[in-house]
A and B are shown apart, each in its own frame.
Chain A
Amino acid sequence: MIIDTDMIRQAALGGALIGLSAAGLLLLNGRIAGISGILSNAVRGTPGLWRFAFLIGLIGAPLLAPLIGFPPAVAHHQGGPVLLVIAGLLVGFGTQTGSGCTSGHGICGLSNLSRRSAVATAIFMAVAVITVFVMRHVAPSLLGG
């Protein structure tokens, strides 16, 4: 097990910023900071320029981050283009069908004491853990690795 207190402090502070964003969007605009819902409605052209403004802020964040002493946004990907396409299709289909993702259900829904979001969060966390378990600990031995 990895316990890195610097990372844990950054995670809790980063989480608090995400919570602050969710609180701000709710108490100012009356909207849920669910990223998949915002993206889906923006793509479909649902009226509301605020969604594009939110997405621009989100995409601009890694450009501001190094200027205020935040760590750089660097991604170490777990696979190549084929895996990313398959995973992306599943994430898009799943969040549209299940009405939310880690932010909408995991942060906003749980904060709102939603039974729907508690069920959704339990399911996507469990399936994600099982998926990583199979990929890292079952598939390699089946393939003789």
Chain B
Amino acid sequence: MSGNDCVIEASGLKKIFLMGEIEVHALRGVDLCINRGEVVSIMGPSGSGKTTLMNILGCLDRPTDGSYILDGSLVSDLDDDELAEIRNKKVGFVFQSFNLLGRQTALTNVELPMRYAGVSNGKRKRAIEALESVGLGDRIRHRPNELSGGQQQRVAIARALVNNPAMILADEPTGNLDSKSGDEVMRILLGLNKEFGTTLVFVTHDPEIAAQTDRVIQLFDGVVTEDRLVEQAST
């Protein structure tokens, strides 16, 4: 399925970890193409290599073998500084535990990726727009401890958006939220995809999350065992 606008194009991805003298084969050859605008979940039990795959797709780690092209750039053999730049420009992370900077306001939290991109003008404006798009325009000066879990995750989403990434990589985004906030977060993420065509990649073990996406990629023992479209439930 490669060749037609793959934002994520992985080929023969292998990852071997060395635990002392033992080699652990976390990924044993993963081929993947995720198209622009798709909403995909990557699922699998622990030990399946799901987290390792996520780290490689998010450019937090390099594969031992294979190639990975993200938004047209070959990233599998970049050095640390170059990977940092790719992450900054092309990947928007949303973590299970939000990972906001506790001492800073929502606004400055959202501005963080722009500061590392060296953006000097217009940061404030883009950050405010991002916060407004997740419904927090009236809380831009609140600190994380003044926001609910759902609101904090929304700040994290705004932060992920602010540099216009090629994809948003969400790792169990509703894992630390109650069902109501979780639904809200999913609604916002899916809404971003509908309105702006933002590519979404969810890494989850929750089938209820997966059911809301368009495609599920199942991982087991370091390889893709299933890659199917989700049947849309009749509304």
Query: Real complex partners, A and B?
Result: no
Residues on B lying within 8 angstroms of A by beta carbon are: none
